[in-house]
Copies of this chain bind each other. A is one copy, B any other.
Amino acid sequence: MSQNKKVVLAYSGGLDTSVAVKWLQEQGYEVVACCLDVGEGKDLAFVQQKALQVGAVQSYMIDAKEEFAEEFALAALQAHTMYEGKYPLVSALSRPLIAKKLVEVAEKENAVAVAHGCTGKGNDQVRFEVSIKALNPDLEVLAPVREWKWSRDEEIDYAQKHGIPIPINLDSPYSIDQNLWGRSNECGILEDPWAAPPEGAYDLTNPLEKTPDTPEIIEITFEKGKPTAIDGIQYSLSDLILHLNEVAGQHGVGRIDHVENRLVGIKSREVYECPGAVTLLKAHKELEDLTLVKEVAHFKPIVEQKMAELIYNGLWFSPLKSALDAFLQETQKNVTGVVRVKLFKGHAIVEGRKSPYSLYDENLATYTKADEFDHDAAVGFINLWGLPTKVNSIVNKKEQVKA
């Protein structure tokens, strides 16, 4: 019976996925809508209802904020993932979690397919599809929007013909995705990389011109690389990030304007706001500077760059992710302590850091009489450290003379 052929659709409440409900029905599917709360701050009860209204046979609304914080945002924080040195992975982080939930619902509902609303040009389609195939290679993946290739006008026609409500903000020039870790925005005006982003492109952060003239000093407590408290008050990780988004956002922290290389081969320009993420990344790095031994500090960036690429490229559920994770977990054992951050005029300035595992040894570092450093050791050290260079110089001088 055809009613058994179910598809689970990642439903956002917008025009594309609302039209997709109907379109998938026309392809012979029963549509189960699935909407995740990963901290985008929308009215998701409304979205859940709307799915049913436009024809879904069932509508899930899953609060995944804490799972997102603990499993995804925390990994990004500890790996300092910054794609191309700038983008702290907003959508790239939530896609695998959404894929995981879609698969879980699909397996529970005996669905044969899952569907997402991505077009054919973005990174998210890759992240969804590779994640889904990794989690359940038997599920079919449908991408209605990529498949139907309608113009905006054709899509509106279709919606009106089928009684699908047109969102009031349809003419917004912005295309937004948001979660706990930040907010991303592509928009028409950004397509000229010489033009500054319009103020309306931002939502989570104050413009510098409107930030308070008084700084705010906060102390962030980390335990084994995980932020657990602000100013001594314990928070769940999702609450801590949401709280920081507010506090740091008010001070204008975390605006990013990035011309980036997409996995699908083009350069695109996007604007991000990540007030909490940027604050935590700065604080966490400073605590690592204090507690990681030099050799770890110098190799970890190699692992970090690979992790950022891997997540950006949709390979979250892959064996390399697990192996990089194992490395990173091992580095976090002593990343425990308190970091004092001054939020002011768009900056998250680390002013102080302390840890019971601090490897900063004042008696070695000091230039006072307490100095315990062996100054004579330097002579031998330099002698051997520079020996290859010196031998090279002797040999080449000799050769130059010959030549």
Contacts and interface: CB of A to CB of B under 8 A. Distances in A.
Given A305-B301, A306-B299, A354-B193, A293 B126 contact: no
B134 A399 contact: no
Contacts of A390: 130, 133-134, 137
Contacts of A120: 373-379
A397 B361 CA distance: 15
Contacts of A234: none
Interface residues of A, number: 133
Identical subunits present: 4
Given A186-B367, A326-B327, A388-B265, A375 B297 contact: no
B137 A393 contact: yes
A319 B345 contact: no
Nearest to A374: B383
Interface string A120-133: 11000110011001
Contact of A385 (B195, B265, B375, B387): B265
Contact of A134 (B285, B302, B389): B389
A245 to B, nearest CB: 20
A356 to B, nearest CB: 6
Contact of A293 (B305, B318, B365): B318
A151 B368 CA distance: 9
B392 A194 contact: no
Contacts of A320: 293, 295-296, 299
A227 B313 CA distance: 33
A373 to B, nearest CB: 5
A90 B273 CA distance: 31
A384 interface: yes
Given A306-B299, A331-B323, A382 B351 contact: no
B293 A384 contact: no
A402 B293 CA distance: 20
Given A136-B393, A261-B388, 17 more contacts: A85-B285, A119-B375, A133-B386, A175-B367, A191-B365, A193-B290, A208-B345, A257-B351, A259-B286, A264-B387, A269-B360, A294-B388, A296-B323, A314-B386, A323-B328, A380-B380, A380-B383
